[in-house]
Structure 1
Amino acid sequence: MTAEGERALREELERLKKVDRPRITQAIAEAREHGDLKENAEYHAAREQQSFAEGRIKDIEHKLSHAQVIDVSAIAHTGKVIFGTTVDLINLDDDSTVTYRIVGEDEADVRNNMISVGSPIARALVGKSEGDEVVVRAPGGDICYEIDQVRHV
């Protein structure tokens, strides 16, 4: 994962442990005070939140303990597409442009143009250089791109 991805996971973990966990514990305590737990919707909702939060904490701790963090800014700028680079592409069919950043699976967010290194687009781009033409095999058909610029940001 990228250094930014690791930082975001650590921040989420901190929030879950120091903000969400105490808030949920308090909600459970308050719901218990309302009496019969069998029919107490607030109690069951708080327990469900607790279960989700604890599961997410374990998931993040596991990911961080097994992550290999790659700082792209420390890598030599070769003009080639590698993990962590930001790539500006030109669609050769309609001359539209799109920018993607190639990140780890846990960081992928298509709405923010951050794509997983294992995605079809990233797999087609990795190892290519500025000026290369790339064909991406997509479910809707092949898309031809030209790599306009590769940035190590």
Structure 2
Amino acid sequence: MNQYPMTAKGAELLREELQHLKSVKRPQIIKSIAEAREHGDLKENAEYHAAREQQSFCEGRIQDIEGKLSNIQIIDVTKMANNGKVIFGATVTIVNLSNDEEITYKIVGEDEADIKNNLISYGSPIARGLIGKSLDDIVNIQTPKGSIEFEISAVEYI
């Protein structure tokens, strides 16, 4: 059985999505199917087929979320003593030593990853290069542009 590491916030967001799918989306789809059925011949009823496809997607997502929630391992770094080590859930600021560019990432579970919000999956190359390292360490991280040297300038458990 696979454990899915997740932050407390990520688990809460998944629970909210599940609640929305079950209490809002599922009833809407059922209503759409019922309305489409009233239009008669189902073989050539595009609305009916679209609603059934939506239903299939929705039920699949519900099963996916329920499966993950039953196997999550919530890691709440805010309850841990910060020893400067980069761990799952940590917020890490790194400085690119070639151009002094600074960027901050939070290392999260796969379902929480959102690069636009600087949330990176623990399985990503950057996170793998940082996990286990400590404040002020210099790390080489393989990127699409080649190997880049970074210094870890801040490690926060927030």
The equivalent of 1:86 in structure 2 is: 91
| Partner of residue 103 from structure 1, selected from 108, 115, 121 | 108
Cα-to-partner distance string for 1:24-70 (whole Å, 9 max, x where unaligned): 00000000001111111110110000000000000000000011111
Shift of 1:127: 1.4
Q: CA RMSD in A?
A: 0.8
Show structure 1 runs of 4+ deviating over 4 A.
none
TM-score by length of 1: 0.97
The equivalent of 2:79 in structure 1 is: 74
User: Aligned with 2:85: secondary structure?
Assistant: coil
Counterpart code for 1:113 = N
Q: Greater shift after overlay, 50-59 or 87-96?
A: 87-96
Matches of 1:108 and 1:46, distance apart in 2: 29
1:11 aligned to 2:16? yes
Matches of 1:121 and 1:132, distance apart in 2: 14
The equivalent of 1:124 in structure 2 is: 129
Shift of 1:72: 1.1
Matches of 2:84 and 2:70, distance apart in 1: 31
**Alignment gaps of 5+ in structure 1:** none
TM-score by length of 2: 0.94
- What is the percentage of aligned positions where both structures have the same residue? 64
| Partner of residue 46 from structure 1, selected from 46, 51, 59 | 51
User: Aligned with 2:120: secondary structure?
Assistant: strand
**Alignment gaps of 5+ in structure 2:** 1-5
Shift of 1:139: 2.8
Q: How many residues align?
A: 153
Cα-to-partner distance string for 1:116-137 (whole Å, 9 max, x where unaligned): 1111111111111111111001
The equivalent of 1:35 in structure 2 is: 40
Trace 1:134-149 onto structure 2 (pairs within 5 A).
134-149=139-154
| Partner of residue 117 from structure 2, selected from 102, 112, 132 | 112
Counterpart code for 2:120 = I
Matches of 2:80 and 2:140, distance apart in 1: 26
